Structure formats: structure tokens, C-alpha cells
């Protein structure tokens, strides 16, 4: 069931879902600005570890200011257990879908996209954040060939308390570094 309203946003439709939540397309009630509104599932909101991880994702993204990282607008709690945040809505396709639909990317575009991804990761590292789930489906490619990094759900904030038990696996196995795997 799609909610009618979350925070300051009227909800238009569901645009995605993953392990840490569902994302809806929303429209700000006063300004009309479109946003992607991510909601932590109620089942996960009852577990402190998931709430802490979701909160960490919000704080990590708020700390980042870079044209290649999706910007967070607001966050909050609706009722007792609907944790959400609203972020920049980026029109485009996940890089994974682009590759699947179009095949190989030209070497010139690979270099351009790689530089943009590195700029996003540098901004994250400068803010004390390791993304930990860098993969094509977490990169949005816009029509004007700009890359946007999103989904900081498993990010590690330097010097923060660990939310993953020792030996626990976080991220997507196919895209993990050997030492992480």
C-alpha cells in the first residue's frame, strides 16, 4: 500500500525498494519540488540496529555536498515507527540498467564516469564516510551523462561505533574488494 503523505511530501508512486527501505516519488506540499522519499520498513523500524543504520545513512548523506552525490532535503519520523528522509530526485537510469540495455560503454565515457565517481567518493571520504556498497545499481546516469551516487545504507562513518558485528558481511558480494570479502 502506497502512503498518501510522508513528512512534507505527497506521495505519487513507488519508484524502488531494497534491503533498507522503499523509495517513493514525492512532491513537496508547499513548494511543489519533487523528491525521492525513502522509508524504513516498519518491521525493521522495530529493531534498534536497523534504525541506527538508517539514521547513520541520513547523517552520512547530510554531511556530503557534491554534485555527484544525491542531496538530502529533510528527514523525520511519522507516527511511532515510520522513519523517512527526502532526497534529491534524479531523473535517469541506474548505470547497471544502462549497461544491460546498451551494452559496452565507450572508453571515453568510462573515463568520464570514473572521474565523476571518484569525485563523489572523495567527497564522501573527506566527510569521513566509506560507502561500502559501490556498484552500478547505486549510480544513476542522467540524460546529460552526469553520475549521481546514492544509497549510503551500509556506509561506515570513520570513528563511529560499529553497527556490524565482527565477521559480519555488509555490501554486495560481487562488488566487494577482496580484503572485505
User: Which DSSP string corresponds to 15-53?
Assistant: EEEETTEEEEEEEETTT--EEEEEE--HHHHTSHHHHHH
Rounded CA gap, 8 and 74, in Å? 9
- Scan for cell 522495530, then name that residue: 46
- Scan for cell 549510480, then name that residue: 139
Catalytic residue among 48, 143, 144, 151: 143
Helix/strand/coil percent split, the chain, to 5 = 30, 30, 40
Cross-strand bridge partners of residue 134: none
Q: Is 143 a catalytic residue?
A: yes
* Pairing of β 72-78 and β 82-88: antiparallel
Q: All 3 cell numbers of residue 175?
A: 562488488
Which residues have a catalytic role annotated? 143
Amino acid at each position: 500500500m502506497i502512503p498518501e503523505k510522508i513528512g512534507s511530501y505527497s506521495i505519487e508512486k513507488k519508484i524502488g525498494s531494497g534491503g533498507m527501505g522503499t523509495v517513493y516519488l514525492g512532491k513537496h506540499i508547499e513548494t511543489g519540488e519533487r523528491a525521492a522519499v525513502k522509508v524504513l520498513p516498519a518491521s525493521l523500524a522495530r529493531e534498534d540496529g536497523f534504525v541506527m543504520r538508517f539514521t547513520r545513512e541520513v547523517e552520512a548523506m547530510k554531511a556530503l555536498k557534491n554534485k555527484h552525490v544525491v542531496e538530502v532535503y529533510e528527514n523525520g519520523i511519522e507516527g511511532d515507527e515510520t522513519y523517512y528522509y527526502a532526497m534529491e530526485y534524479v531523473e535517469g537510469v541506474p548505470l547497471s540498467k544502462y549497461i544491460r540495455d546498451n551494452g559496452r560503454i565507450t572508453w571515453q565515457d568510462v573515463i568520464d564516469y570514473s572521474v565523476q565517481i571518484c569525485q563523489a567518493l572523495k567527497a564522501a571520504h573527506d566527510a569521513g564516510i566509506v560507502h561500502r556498497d559501490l556498484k552500478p545499481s547505486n549510480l544513476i546516469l542522467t540524460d546529460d551523462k552526469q553520475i549521481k551516487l546514492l544509497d549510503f545504507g551500509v556506509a561506515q562513518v570513520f570513528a563511529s561505533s560499529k553497527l556490524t558485528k565482527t565477521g559480519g558481511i555488509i555490501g554486495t558480494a560481487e562488488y566487494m574488494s577482496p580484503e572485505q570479502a
